[in-house]
């Protein structure tokens, strides 16, 4: 076998292996993650001191709509002090879902209890540096709970935005498999104009007598931020197969050049 024939066979074999690797690379999960340190906060009703959200999405990071996406785990916390007269009558709260030591909340449990998650990554968004809020597309009002479209006039602390939402996390709990009641699961909404809000959702704390806790009746905090610099999703590492594919292309290019020169 001539050296030229052997080189040709190796080139075709390498090309086939690289092509197979590019199609068998598993889709990467990604994390939506942020906390109170990423925002400027202003108290509207009661005082939220800290909050933190971490959501693992088991889908590839790409442009498109994420409406209740497949997720492998949700972990979030909200804590603060409460004014007198709230439905819970508590002086303070420290919600952590899941509770410390408990397994992560999976998508089936999260959506099954009445919670939801919606956002859309805009077409053409540059995802190499992660996802900033400017990379999210505005959503129609149907993504918002009706109370946020037409605020309750009795809650004067509720403020709205003139723009459409780009991110909605609604931790509403209408049923609880543990049998425990919770007043404080969160509703977080971010808008394209650099404003947002964090408040308790309209949770149901007693399924037997259907006690519903209205939106924002426990706490409301207004948020402001720079949409261009506020990152919700960190960059996803390039899969090893992608590096192999690029390295292989360079190798093939070198082989091709050598054959041309000879």
Is pLDDT above 80 for 138? yes
Q: What is the mean pLDDT of the chain?
A: 78
Percent of the chain with pLDDT over 90: 51
Could you report the per-residue pLDDT of 180-219, keeping only the tens digit for each? 678 999 999 999 999 999 999 988 887 666 778 888 999 9
82 and 74 Cβ atoms separated by less than 8 Å: no
183 and 205 Cβ atoms separated by less than 8 Å: yes
Is pLDDT above 90 for 119? yes
Least confident range from 138-147, 180-189, 227-236: namely 138-147
For residue 245, being part of any structural domain is answered with no
Could you report the per-residue pLDDT of 153-168, keeping only the tens digit for each? 333 334 455 678 899 9
Mean pLDDT of all residues in 247-258: 50
Half-sphere exposure of 128 (CA within 13 A, CB side): 2
Domain total of the chain: 1
Least confident range from 137-141, 170-174, 258-262: namely 258-262
Q: Which secondary structure element, helix H or strand E, spans residue 13, and what is its range?
A: helix 3-24
**CA nearest to 136, candidates 100, 167, 114, 108:** 167
What backbone phi and psi angles, to 5 degrees, belong to 6? -60, -40
For residue 254, being part of any structural domain is answered with no
pLDDT tier at 221 (50, 70, 90 boundaries)? very high
Percent of the chain with pLDDT over 70: 67
For residue 103, being part of any structural domain is answered with yes
Residue 247 has a pLDDT of 52
Could you report the per-residue pLDDT of 9-37, keeping only the tens digit for each? 545 554 454 444 444 433 478 999 999 99
Q: Greater confidence, 254 or 167?
A: 167
Reduce the DSSP state of residue 178 to 3 states and report it. Answer: coil
pTM score above 0.85: no
Q: What does each C-alpha distance from 96 to 88, 111, 129, 169 come to in angstroms? A: 17, 17, 30, 15
Range of the domain at 170: 27-238
C-alpha dihedral over 10, 14, 17, 21, to 10 degrees? 170
- How far apart CA 98 and CA 76 sit, in angstroms, is 7
For residue 220, being part of any structural domain is answered with yes
Reduce the DSSP state of residue 101 to 3 states and report it. Answer: coil
For residue 64, being part of any structural domain is answered with yes
For residue 79, being part of any structural domain is answered with yes
Residue bearing tokens 């994420």: 66
Could you report the per-residue pLDDT of 41-69, keeping only the tens digit for each? 999 999 999 999 999 999 999 999 999 99
For residue 252, being part of any structural domain is answered with no
For residue 205, being part of any structural domain is answered with yes
Residue 21 has a pLDDT of 45
What backbone phi and psi angles, to 5 degrees, belong to 66? -115, 100
**CA nearest to 117, candidates 188, 215, 63, 184:** 188
183 and 87 Cβ atoms separated by less than 8 Å: yes
135 and 121 Cβ atoms separated by less than 8 Å: yes
Is pLDDT above 70 for 148? no
- How far apart CA 177 and CA 32 sit, in angstroms, is 25
């Amino acid at each position: 076998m001539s050296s030229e024939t052997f080189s040709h066979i190796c080139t075709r074999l390498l090309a086939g292996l690289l092509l197979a690797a590019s199609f068998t690379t598993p889709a990467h999960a990604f994390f939506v993650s942020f906390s109170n340190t990423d925002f400027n906060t202003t108290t509207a009703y009661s005082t939220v001191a800290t909050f933190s959200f971490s959501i693992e999405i088991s889908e590839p990071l790409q442009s498109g709509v994420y409406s209740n996406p497949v997720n492998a785990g949700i972990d979030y916390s909200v804590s603060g002090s409460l004014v007198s007269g709230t439905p819970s009558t508590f002086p303070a709260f420290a919600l952590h879902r899941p509770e410390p030591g408990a397994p992560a909340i999976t998508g089936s449990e999260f959506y099954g209890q009445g919670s939801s998650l919606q956002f859309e990554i805009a077409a053409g968004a540059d995802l190499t540096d992660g996802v900033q809020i400017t990379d999210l597309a505005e959503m129609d009002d149907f993504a918002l709970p009706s109370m946020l479209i037409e605020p309750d006039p009795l809650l004067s602390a509720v403020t709205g935005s003139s723009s459409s939402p780009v991110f909605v996390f609604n931790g509403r709990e209408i049923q609880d498999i543990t049998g425990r009641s919770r007043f404080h699961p969160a509703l977080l909404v971010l808008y394209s104009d650099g404003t947002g809000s964090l408040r308790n959702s309209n949770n149901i704390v007693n399924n037997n007598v259907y006690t519903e806790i209205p939106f924002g009746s426990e706490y409301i905090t207004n948020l402001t931020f720079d949409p261009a610099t506020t990152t919700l999703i960190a960059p996803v590492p390039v899969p090893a197969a992608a590096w192999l594919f690029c390295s292989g292309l360079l190798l093939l290019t070198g082989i091709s050049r050598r054959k041309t020169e000879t």
